[in-house]
Structure 1
Amino acid sequence: MRATITLNDLIETRLAEIAEDVWKRHRVLRVNHGDGRVVQLGTAAIWELWSCRANHGSGLCGEPLLTATQASSLTGMPREDGPVENPALPVIEVELLDSGVGGFLIDDLFHASDVRAEFRKVNG
């Protein structure tokens, strides 16, 4: 009898591989659904999906990391070149599951502090 592998098994395996890789390379943790913090700017709010555990020179970071789509929705300023013009902290490139495309695409993760700074710059 042959073992059956479902599409869900393949997707779950790929998500685990991505999470392991981004931890090893950048010290970024994927946050389980419902376990994250709520990040709010103005009247918009989103759930934290990723968390930074890197040391940027002043100890462990601990900030939520936001996808480009999340950052754009919070700032209200979608841009062709990204939602944060000049981030102070490193932008992390990661492969994410895009339900709209039905596959994995490269996306950027931005620190919440950079998104807040962009929001203040845009909204005065």
Structure 2
Amino acid sequence: MTQPTVTLNDLIATRLTEIAEDAWENHRVMRISGENGRVITLGSSAVWEHWSCEADHGYGACHEPLLTIDQAATLVGQPVDFCLVHPEKAPIEMTVLDASYGFQITELYHLSDVVTEFKKAQG
């Protein structure tokens, strides 16, 4: 009798599913899978949408893209260690899969807060 083989890809897929389920249950954050996302462009930079806010902030479902701090830094043109000091909507702490470092904890920011930061940086 042979035991089923669990591959690293299976473990990663399972963990990503768990993260997506937790994000939905706890924050109403929806994971955008595969090619269902959109390219978000700000200034001369662009990032791919991976998360969307479906929470009700008092005016119905938000539907706004959520960006990791690294994505926000790219769009604002700041070093990776920058942070949004006073976002209008509270950032959401999440675990994400980073291609270089594996599973990492990051914060997700609403696109509108990143746009506001970009406008401040432009003067």
SS in 2 for 1:109: strand
What residue identity is the alignment partner of 2:59?
S
> Equivalent pairs: percent with the same residue?
52
Compared CA separation, residues 80 and 43, structure 1 to 2 (3 A): closer
Q: Distance in 1 between matches of 2:52 and 2:20?
A: 11
Match of 1:97 in 2: 97
Q: CA RMSD in A?
A: 1.1
How far did residue 33 of structure 1 move?
2.0
Distance in 2 of aligned mates of 1:92 and 1:20: 15
Q: 1:56-75, aligned counterparts within 5 Å?
A: 56-75=57-76
Cα displacement (A) at 1:80: 3.4
CA separation of 1:21 and 1:76: change in aligned 2, threshold 3 A: same
TM-score normalised by L of structure 1: 0.93
Q: Is the 8 A contact 2:29 2:51 kept in 1?
A: yes
TM-score (norm 2): 0.94
Q: Extract structure 1 runs of 4+ deviating beyond 2 A.
A: 78-81
* 1:2 aligns to 2:13 (yes or no): no
Question: In the comparison of the two structures, how many residue pairs are matched?
Answer: 122
Instruction: Structure 1 unaligned segments of length 5 or more: list them.
Output: none
Give the secondary-structure state (helix, strand or coil) at the position aligned to 1:34: helix
Unpaired runs of 5+ residues, structure 2, are: none
